[in-house]
Chain A
Amino acid sequence: MDSRLSFAICAAILTVSLTAPPVWAHHGWGGNSEQEFELTGVVDTGVSLAGPHATMKIRSPDGKVWDLTLAPPFATSKAGLKEGIIPVGATVTIHGHRNLDPKRLEVKTERVTWNGRTFNVYPDRK
């Protein structure tokens, strides 16, 4: 290939990667509030280890159902949070970060506590 063209393509790629919004670097946390969020509720739908992220649903005391986005399937199961461990109807406390859109009841969840056990699905996050 023409070396000037190669240079132009490389320069273009470099420019895009350096100027891309920093939020992309957060790899999925950019759409969530930075504020720590905690919620206690009753399991409505148990843990599913389907990709790209494991999920579960809990019902808060005011009757609203929250979508919990956990870590990817393998990381979630490695933290001990496998399907069927926490029964539907059990009371759990979860810790994570809410979706930035206040209308969306979604929490990217770092920790789930149930029956004295804490499942830390994102052990590298505080």
Chain B
Amino acid sequence: MYEFMAWLQSSALGHAMRESGVWTYGIANLVHILGVASLFGSVLVLDLRLLGVWRKVALAAISEPTVPIATVGFFIAAASGFCLLATKATEYVGNPFLYIKFPAIALGLLNVAVLDSVPAWRQHKTRELSAAEQSKLAVIGGISLFCWLTAITAGRMIGYW
């Protein structure tokens, strides 16, 4: 862990983050927040629908805008987060919130992979789903909310440790 953080900190990215002006970190932080907001805002709406809120609205009508915004938001958050981490990477070694945040993200991504493999999800745009299928998607939606809420909470707390 320490070796990786030391490598990241001494990388070109780490140097650039530290040596390119007093606003660099703040701007990377802003981009990170926009990425997280896009990701979580979309995920929240989609997961609540999977959990059974707004049943009158077709799932396809909600998944169409939320999935691409969440995907783009994730990559923006990941890229900017990498920059923030690289600035002083070694300082975060031993920070317990980091060890909560990254497994939560990994679990969230694994959950996305599971969702993508479920027939009900793959076919939700072309056919009605049975009650059993909707329940299955509700479980996945609940896990998703839990993962991303945990990741965001732990992430916000990193700086307060």
Contact = CB atoms under 8 A, between A and B. Distances in A.
Contacts, number: 41
Contacts of B23: 73-74
A74 B87 CA distance: 16
Contacts of B88: 50
Interface in A32-86: 48-52, 72-74, 76-77
Nearest to B161: A31
B87 A50 contact: yes
A51 B26 contact: yes
A2 B160 contact: no
B62 to A, nearest CB: 12
Contacts of B48: 1
- A interface, by DSSP: helix, strand, loop or mixed? loop
Contacts of B18: 48, 50
A77 B18 CA distance: 14
A50 B86 CA distance: 11
Interface in A1-18: 1-2, 5
A1 B17 contact: no
Contact of B22 (A28, A31, A73): A73
Interface of A: 1-2, 5, 24, 28, 30-31, 48-52, 72-74, 76-77
Interface of B: 17-19, 22-26, 28-29, 48, 53-54, 84, 87-88, 159-161
25 contacts: A1-B48, A1-B54, A2-B53, A24-B160, A28-B159, A28-B160, A30-B160, A31-B160, A31-B161, A48-B18, A50-B19, A50-B25, A50-B88, A51-B17, A51-B25, A51-B26, A51-B28, A51-B84, A51-B87, A72-B26, A73-B22, A73-B25, A74-B22, A76-B22, A77-B22
